[in-house]
Structure 1
Amino acid sequence: MEFKVKTGGERLDKVLADNTELSRSLANEQIKAGLVRVNGLAKKPRYTVVEGDIISYQLPEPEVLDIQAEDLPLELVYQDQDVAVVNKAQGMVVHPSPGHPSGTLVNALLFHVKDLSGINGVLRPGIVHRIDKDTSGLLMIAKNDQAHEKLAQELKEKKSLRKYLALVHGNLPSDKGVIEAPIGRSDKDRKKQAVQANGKPALTRFIVLERFGDYSLVELQLETGRTHQIRVHMAYIGHPLAGDPLYGPKKTLKGRGQFLHAAQLGFTHPSTDEIRVFKAPLPEIFEETLERLRKDY
Structure 2
Amino acid sequence: MRAGWREAALNHGWTYRDKVPPADAGTLVSDWLADRYRHSNGVVWQQRIAAGELDWNGVLLTGDRVLQGGETLGWRRPPWLEEAIPDQWETIHDDGDLLVINKPSGLPVMPGGGFLRHTLTALLEPTGARPVHRLGRFTSGLQVCARTPHTRALWSKQFRPNGGCRKVYQAWSRRVPGLELGQCLTLSRDVVERPHPLLGWIWGPEPLDDAPIRKRLSAHSELELLERTAEGDRLQVTITTGRPHQIRIHLAQLGSPLLGDPLYLPHREISAIATPGDGGYRLHAWRLVADGLALESSLPPDWGIP
1:2, CA displacement in angstroms? 6.0
Q: Does 1:195 align with 2:212?
A: no
* Equivalent-residue separation in structure 1 for 2:285 and 2:216 (angstroms): 24
In structure 2, the CA distance between the partners of 1:283 and 1:98, relative to structure 1 (3 Å rule), is closer
Q: Does 1:144 align with 2:152?
A: no
Contact 1:242 1:248 in 2 (8 A): no
* Equivalent-residue separation in structure 2 for 1:207 and 1:57 (angstroms): 52
- The residue aligned with 2:189 is 181
- The residue aligned with 1:134 is 138
Structure 2-normalised TM-score? 0.66
Contact 2:94 2:100 in 1 (8 A): yes
- The letter for the 1-side match of 2:288 is L
- The residue aligned with 1:259 is 282
* Equivalent-residue separation in structure 2 for 1:176 and 1:16 (angstroms): 47
State percent identity of aligned pairs: 24
* Equivalent-residue separation in structure 2 for 1:222 and 1:169 (angstroms): 19
- The letter for the 1-side match of 2:186 is V
* Equivalent-residue separation in structure 2 for 1:284 and 1:98 (angstroms): 27
- The letter for the 1-side match of 2:289 is G
Contact 2:86 2:104 in 1 (8 A): no
Contact 1:168 1:215 in 2 (8 A): yes
- The residue aligned with 2:5 is none
Structure ranking higher in strand proportion: 2
Q: Does 1:29 align with 2:44?
A: yes
- The residue aligned with 1:277 is 294
- The letter for the 1-side match of 2:107 is M
* Equivalent-residue separation in structure 2 for 1:129 and 1:187 (angstroms): 25
Q: Does 1:172 align with 2:187?
A: no
Structure 1 stretches lacking a partner, 5+ long: 5-11, 41-54, 117-125, 251-255, 269-274, 291-297
Tell me the matched-pair count.
238
* Equivalent-residue separation in structure 2 for 1:3 and 1:204 (angstroms): 41
1:64, CA displacement in angstroms? 10
* Equivalent-residue separation in structure 2 for 1:260 and 1:108 (angstroms): 22
Contact 1:171 1:214 in 2 (8 A): no
* Equivalent-residue separation in structure 2 for 1:277 and 1:195 (angstroms): 31
Deviation per CA, 1:191-227, whole angstroms, max 9, x where unpaired?
A: 6421356312222211111112451111111221222
- The residue aligned with 1:119 is none
1:61, CA displacement in angstroms? 3.2
In structure 2, the CA distance between the partners of 1:36 and 1:245, relative to structure 1 (3 Å rule), is farther
In structure 2, the CA distance between the partners of 1:2 and 1:208, relative to structure 1 (3 Å rule), is same
In structure 2, the CA distance between the partners of 1:59 and 1:221, relative to structure 1 (3 Å rule), is farther
In structure 2, the CA distance between the partners of 1:184 and 1:57, relative to structure 1 (3 Å rule), is farther
- The letter for the 2-side match of 1:267 is A
1:152, CA displacement in angstroms? 1.2
DSSP 3-state at the match of 2:204: strand
Structure 1-normalised TM-score? 0.68
- The residue aligned with 2:229 is 212
1:98, CA displacement in angstroms? 7.0
DSSP 3-state at the match of 1:247: coil
- The residue aligned with 1:163 is 168
